[in-house]
Structure 1
Amino acid sequence: MDDATPLTAGRSAVPAVGPTVGLDIGGTKTLAVLLDAAGATVAQARLATERGPRGVVAGAARAVRGVARQAGIDLVDVVGVGVGMPGLVDPAAGTVRHAVNVGVDGSPLALAELLGDALGGIPVGLENDLNVAALGAAHLEATAAGVPGARVDLAFLALGTGLAAGLVLDGELRRGFGGAAGEIGHVPVDPTGPVCPCGQRGCLELYASGTAVARLWPSGSGRPAPVELFEAAERGVPAAVEARDVYASAVAAAVRMLVLTVDVQHVVLGGGVAQLGEPLLDAVRAALARESRASGFLSSLHLADRVRLAPGRVPVGAVGAAVVGRSVAGRAPLNGMAS
C-alpha cells in the first residue's frame, strides 16, 4: 500500500462525524482512500480487484480494513464507507448490475448491504464510478481553493473508452431524472458521421474519446495510442500535429457543450487520456482559445481558463467515494464540497 498523502482541509455541510473510507472498484484495481473527520486524505492504497459477486464483496472489505490499518485507526472508528463502481448502479437500493468488467452480471448485487454486514454494520453508500469521480474532483477543488463551505460547480469529463461527464452543480451531485445527466458522448455532432454503438450517427464520443484517438493514430508499438500521438506531435510530425489538433478540437467541443448547457465553473479532464497531463491540457486550451476568437460571446466565457486536469496526487474516484461515505454517515444530501 502507498503512503498517505496529506491534504489541507476546511469544513463541509456534511457533518464531520468521523473517518470515512472510499473505494473506487475497477476491472483490474481497487483504489482506497481514508478521509479523517475533517475531510483530509490521510491514507490511500491500491490493490487488485477480486472478480465475481463474492470476490467483489470480500475484496472491498479487505480494502477497507487495509486502508484503516494503514491510517492507524480501528475499523470500529470508521463511520461510513462509499463505493464507486462501473455498471448500472442504483444508489437508493445500494445495488449494482451489469458490471461485467468485475464479473458482476445477471441479478443485482446488493453490495451496500453485503459489504456493510462484512464490516460489522458500518453504513455503506454506493454510487456510479463517474459520479464519485465528479464528487472527488469537487472535494479536492474546494480544498485546494481553501474556501470553507464552498459549493463547487464542476463537471468531470471522462476521456476513456467512451465519453461522459459527472456533474456537481452548486455543490450537489446531479444524476438527472433518469440518471442520464452528463451523457454528452451520445449527443450527435455530425448526422452524416459513422454509426455509434448507441445506434445514432456521429455522436461526440466517436471524436473525443480515447477510442477516437486510436482511430486517428493507431498505435504502431502496442503503447497507448494517445501517448504515441502526442509524442509524435511534440516531435513535429505534420500528420501527428494535425491529428492531435483534430482530437483537441473534439474535446474542446465537449467542454463548450458542458459550459453552454450548465455553465459550470470548472471542467476537469479525467479518464485514461487525461494521464497525458499538461500536453493534453495545453492542446485543449489552445483549441478553445482558437475557436473563441471569432465569437465575442464565446470569448466572454473564458472557456480555456475553466479547464483543468484531475489531480494526480490522490485517486479522485476513491476520494469521491469517501465523500459518499460521509453522506451515509451523516444522513445528509450528497454534495461535492471540500470538508
Structure 2
Amino acid sequence: MNKKFLAAAIAAATFGTQAVAVELYNNEGTTFSVGGHVSINLNGSEQGDTDVGSNSPRININATHDLGNGFTADARGEWQLNYLEGGENTFTTRLGYLGLTHDVYGRAVGGTQWAPYYDVAGVADMPIAFANDFIYDDHGNLGTGRAEKMLSYRNAIELGEAGKLGFGLGWQGTNDTTSESWVFEDKNEDGIADGPAELVKKGVVYDDRMQLALNYSIMGAKVGYTYNTGDFKEVGAKKETAESHLVSAAYGSYGKGLYLAAVYGSNEYMNFNDKKRLAESNTYEALVAYALPSSLNLSLNYEKVEGKLTSNSATETAREEMALQAEYNFTSKFVGYAGYQFDLNDSNNRDTDSKWALGARYYL
C-alpha cells in the first residue's frame, strides 16, 4: 500500500459531490478543520404544492493526529442542520467516529460511519437533488449507508500497472429498537378514545450484523462486490435474516468529464414497499453524467426496486424513478442545481408523483 492511502481513506469518509473544509489548526502533527454545506431549494411535485426546502445540510468537525511509527488517529463529528424550522432538534447526528490509519496495516474505524457496503453501493449516489434512495432503507441499523455503532476495517493492495485491490469488513452489535406505548381503544370508531388502554410494543431487535466489501480499480474503472447479513426480529413475528448481495461498476470521476455507474442488488428483508418490509427484492441503479469544461455537469439517473412481501406473493414494483439533473459550479464552494424526477411506478393503478427541485448549495 502506498502513502496515498491515508489521505484517501480519511477523505473518503466525506462522500458527496465535493469535499470542502477550512483548516483552522495545523501544528506538530495535529490538524483541525471545519466543513459541511448548507442549501436552499424550491421543491414541487405533481401532487404537492411548491415550498422552500433544503438538501441534506450538515456541519462537521475533523481532527487528525500523528501518533508516530506510521499511525495517524482521526476523529469526525457531523450533524444535520435543521435550520428552516424552529424547535429543539436543531442538530441531529449524521456521523461520529474515531479512526486509526497506517500506510501498511490499513484503517480501522469505530462509531457511526459510512459503511464498507456503501463503498460499493454508493457509486451512483452522486447528484445533489435526486440520487440513490434504496441504500437508505433503514440504513443505520442494516449498515447500508451511514451505519450506526459499527466497527470497520479497510485495506488496499497496490498492484502497480495492474491496478489496486481493496477490501473492507464491518460489524455491528445487537440493537434493540423496540418501544412500548399505551394505546386507547376507539370503541365507536369515531376517532375518539373511549375504550380501555392497552400497552402496545412495537419495533425491531437486530442481532449482530456482518459485511464484506471487495473492490478492484484500474485506469479509471472500478468494480465491486459487497455482502451484508444479520438476523432481526420484528415484534409479533418470527426471526428472519436480512441479507444482501450487491455488485457495482463505475468509470471516471463524477464532476470531471464522463462518469458512468451501475448497481445491482439481490436482497432479502433489506428493502421496503410503502413501509412494508420485502421478503425478496432486486434493486437497480444507473447513472450517466458528463461535466463540461464550463463547469456544467449534466446527468441522467435511473432507480428501481421490485420484490415480494412474502416468498409466495407476486412481484411488485416498490419504486421506479428517472431523473434529469444539472449542476453548475459558480465557484469551488457555490453550486447551483436543478432536477426533475419522473415517477415511473404506476403499478396497481398507483398515482405517480413526479418531483422537481431548483436550488443552490454553499460549501463551508
Report the TM-score, using the length of structure 1 for normalisation.
Answer: 0.28
Structure that is richer in strand per residue: 2
Report the TM-score, using the length of structure 2 for normalisation.
Answer: 0.27
Structure scoring higher RCO (CA < 8 A, sep ≥ 6) equals 1
